[in-house]
Amino acid sequence: MNPMRGPLAVMAGAALTMITACTTSGLSMRQTSSRAHSSAATSTTSGLSTRQTSSPTQSSAATSTARRVTSTLFEVAFSIPASWRVTPHEGPERVDYDGPDGWLDLVATSTNAPATGMRGRCLRIATSNVLNPYGTKPTIQLRTIDGRAGCIIHPSADALRMQRSAHGPSFTSAAAIVCYHTPITFPSTPGDRWGCLLIVADPAHITAIADSVLMLQ
């Protein structure tokens, strides 16, 4: 079974090389909660910096002009800029939006979780694609999303830039990951179960979108 289902499936299919032991050299990890603000000690394990903080997750992406979107297919509700529209011609089992200043895709990922839990899952998604969509040194921010364990992948400076439309601007990719209480299925492949939601968006909007997430199960 393809470990991803959604708009990254083409990139994450033949080109995706899943690694069971992720190389963490050059990857920093920040653990935060989404409410209060405080500082904490930094510890280093095998070259991987892990910092636990709690901070307000306010983003530069304005929420005053946001509109609410609900996907019964992916069982999630979230907010996006009011100017964004559905990306055309993506298919019935896709949730894709874009606008002049950013974009969003929803992707379902498999239930196969590494022994290291959310930390390992986020590392695997951030580093296992041979195309390096988040760059060669992405930053993993461990935090809660709708009260559940999750993370945000922030791209490094060398991340790929992609156009959402033929004449539109190009953007790099960031991602937020949070898991379902019960794996979801899709009508076209009812035998496959997808345990986590991967929200892929431009870096300027990913934090505000993650802050707005309401999981429907």
59 found inside a domain: no
d(CA 50, CA 42): 6
When pLDDT is cut at 50, 70 and 90, the band that residue 113 belongs to is low
Percent above pLDDT 90 for the chain: 53
Domain count, the chain: 1
Tens-digit pLDDT profile for residues 10-43 = 343 333 333 223 333 334 333 333 332 233 323 3
Provide the whole-model pTM: 0.73
Domain that holds residue 184: 4-16+106-207
Residue 65: per-residue pLDDT: 85
81 found inside a domain: no
Asked if pLDDT for residue 7 goes beyond 50, the answer is: no
75 found inside a domain: no
CB 102, CB 171: distance < 8 Å:
yes
Straight-line distance from the first to the last Cα atom of the chain, in angstroms, rounded to the nearest whole number: 23
Tens-digit pLDDT profile for residues 158-190 = 998 987 766 678 899 999 999 999 999 999 989
